[in-house]
């Protein structure tokens, strides 16, 4: 019983102290060893160096290229003006009467193209301010619109998205970024439709109550300088390239029968093509997207500085997530976790349902979609895979449900991306979290349930 209490106490402290601003780099190893200590009979130093750090290094080895290239791609899309050009063109096309839709679509296109959530928020917010002020829509709804376009359907649901949440399940289930496309589209449409309906209703209620954009002292709305922006076609082409090349490589090149990957089974690789093909495809697609953006925008920005800044910016993200994975691997070895694991698996003998619950809960506890999913799959991924084989379930379903589930409770108020978004927009939790919570927590959870129902019916 003490072991179970130790695991629960450790998780609770991880959530609370991370919310209080203490870095996961410090919390993860300390709280993992606290849980090990309360479980008794576990050698602490060996657990740290041979379990925690082994898992840390293994995760970094598997995902560092994607974190690195994704951060660089997002940075050069921002600095080259491509992200702003896309958002500005959509805003001009739809006009102020469709301000909410313009913001959501701008964020969605950029996120689906691989631009990081933080870059998207910085790039779109100034344009969102202009649109919302012209349309006299309350500024407090801007964070909800950005969250809907950035934190939901393009991050977890739509097949092919280069976001890290869609890459994490690939080695576990031998899938690629386009896994379970029909389920992903169904879930994505539910998130987009539900979120747009909510924000539209909220805007109409505010208008009926006579609430306009609001008075925000000190706010400066500067007109966008279009003189140095690339054309819409040039700005959006890198995104199209990333998606298209990733699809071609994962579906037609790095597949058994077309690419001879037998050498991977021997020394020094000791893996299989199905385990790495999705990652390879995404890496190559991002590299080509980066090169294209740099070559065709050389005169618009300092490419060397942008690449360096993007590379350095990726380090904290990969190290934080690797620390959370190390934490999860320690927890899964403890006797107390065996009882918790049995309870989780006992909720349902269907691995789809059990996986969705475990991923969502851990994403909520850690305040991180990627961290929660990495912990859950690291602890239970192989078991879910074995259960899926026994039940005749396509592993692609496990991939898509895991990604969608990771984008639910992760966006609770302590989530770092939520806090950053509110800071960028100059809003508080009290003013804007109700809308963020609805479009990025409640509706995604309900959308995941819809996807699970279709998955149980055999839809892939």
In a domain, 192, yes or no: yes
Helix (H, G, I), strand (E, B) or coil at 230: coil
In a domain, 157, yes or no: yes
In a domain, 426, yes or no: yes
In a domain, 374, yes or no: yes
Question: Up-side HSE of residue 74: CA atoms within 13 Å toward CB?
Answer: 30
Residue ranges of the chain with per-residue pLDDT less than 70: 19, 220-226
The residue behind tokens 């870059």 is: 119
| Dihedral of the alpha carbons of 17, 151, 375, 8, in degrees to the nearest 10 | 40
If we measure between CA atoms, which residue out of 401, 384, 392, 397 comes closest to residue 449?
401
**Domain that residue 186 falls in:** 1-213+224-457
Residue 12 zone, left/alpha/beta (φ > 0; ψ -120 to 50; rest): alpha
Distance CA 105, CA 107 (A): 5
How far out from the chain centre does Cα 166 lie?
A: 7
Total of domains in the chain: 1
In a domain, 26, yes or no: yes
In a domain, 202, yes or no: yes
Helix (H, G, I), strand (E, B) or coil at 214: coil
Q: Other C-beta atoms within 10 Å of 356: how many?
A: 27
In a domain, 219, yes or no: no
What pLDDT, on the 0 to 100 scale, is given for residue 404?
A: 97
Report in angstroms the alpha-carbon separations of 280 from 6, 110, 318.
39, 22, 18
335 with 384: CB under 8 angstroms? no
Distance CA 207, CA 378 (A): 48
Distance CA 232, CA 210 (A): 36
Burial profile 382-411: b = 16 or more Cβ within 10 angstroms, e = fewer: eebbebbeeeebbbbbbbbbbbbbbbbbbb
Question: Rounded to the nearest 5°, which phi and psi values hold at 143?
Answer: -60, -35
If we measure between CA atoms, which residue out of 336, 316, 331, 334 comes closest to residue 378?
331
Question: Up-side HSE of residue 209: CA atoms within 13 Å toward CB?
Answer: 12
CB within 8 A of 76, min separation 6: which ones? 82, 290, 293, 294, 297, 301, 303, 306, 307, 310
In a domain, 218, yes or no: no
Report in angstroms the alpha-carbon separations of 371 from 158, 319, 323.
20, 11, 9
CB within 8 A of 94, min separation 6: which ones? 101, 102, 105
């Amino acid at each position: 019983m003490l072991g179970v209490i130790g695991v629960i106490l450790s998780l609770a402290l991880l959530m609370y102290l991370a919310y209080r601003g203490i870095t996961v780099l410090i919390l993860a190893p300390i709280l993992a060893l606290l849980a090990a200590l309360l479980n008794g009979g576990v050698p602490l130093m060996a657990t740290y160096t041979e379990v925690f750090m082994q898992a840390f290094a293994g995760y970094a080895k598997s995902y560092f290229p994607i974190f690195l290239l994704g951060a660089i791609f997002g940075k050069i899309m921002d600095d080259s003006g491509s992200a702003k050009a896309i958002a500005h063109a959509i805003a001009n096309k739809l006009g102020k009467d469709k301000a909410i839709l313009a913001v959501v679509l701008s964020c969605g296109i950029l996120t689906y193209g691989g631009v990081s959530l933080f870059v998207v928020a910085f790039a779109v917010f100034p344009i969102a301010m202009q649109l919302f002020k012209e349309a006299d829509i309350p500024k407090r709804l801007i964070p909800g619109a950005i969250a809907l376009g950035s934190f939901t359907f393009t991050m977890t649901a739509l097949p092919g998205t280069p976001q890290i949440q869609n890459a994490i399940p690939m080695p576990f289930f031998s899938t690629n970024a386009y896994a379970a496309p029909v389920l992903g589209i169904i879930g994505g449409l539910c998130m987009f439709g539900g979120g747009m309906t909510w924000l539209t209703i909220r805007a109409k209620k505010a208008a009926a109550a006579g609430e306009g954009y609001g008075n925000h002292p000190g706010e400066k709305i500067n007109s966008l300088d279009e003189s140095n922006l690339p054309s819409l076609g040039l700005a959006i082409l890198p995104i199209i390239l990333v998606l298209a090349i990733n699809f071609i490589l994962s579906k037609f090149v790095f597949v058994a029968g077309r690419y001879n990957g037998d050498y991977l089974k021997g020394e020094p690789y000791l893996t299989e093509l199905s385990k790495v093909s999705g990652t390879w495809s995404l890496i190559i697609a991002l590299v080509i997207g980066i090169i294209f953006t740099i070559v065709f925008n050389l005169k618009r920005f300092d490419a060397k500085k942008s690449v360096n800044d993007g590379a350095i910016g990726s380090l904290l993200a990969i190290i934080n997530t690797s620390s959370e994975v190390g934490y999860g691997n320690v927890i899964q070895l403890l006797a107390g976790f065996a009882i918790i694991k049995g309870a989780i698996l006992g909720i349902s003998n269907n691995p789809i349902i059990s996986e969705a619950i475990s991923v969502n809960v851990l994403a909520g506890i850690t305040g991180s979609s990627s961290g929660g999913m990495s912990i859950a799959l690291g602890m239970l991924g192989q078991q879910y895979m074995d259960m899926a084989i026994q039940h005749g379930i396509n592993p692609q379903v496990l991939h898509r449900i895991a990604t969608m589930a990771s984008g639910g409770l992760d966006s609770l108020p302590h989530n770092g991306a939520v806090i950053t978004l509110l800071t960028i927009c100059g809003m508080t939790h009290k003013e804007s979290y109700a809308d963020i919570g609805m479009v990025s927590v409640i509706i995604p959870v309900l959308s995941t349930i819809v996807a699970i129902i279709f998955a149980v019916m055999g839809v892939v």
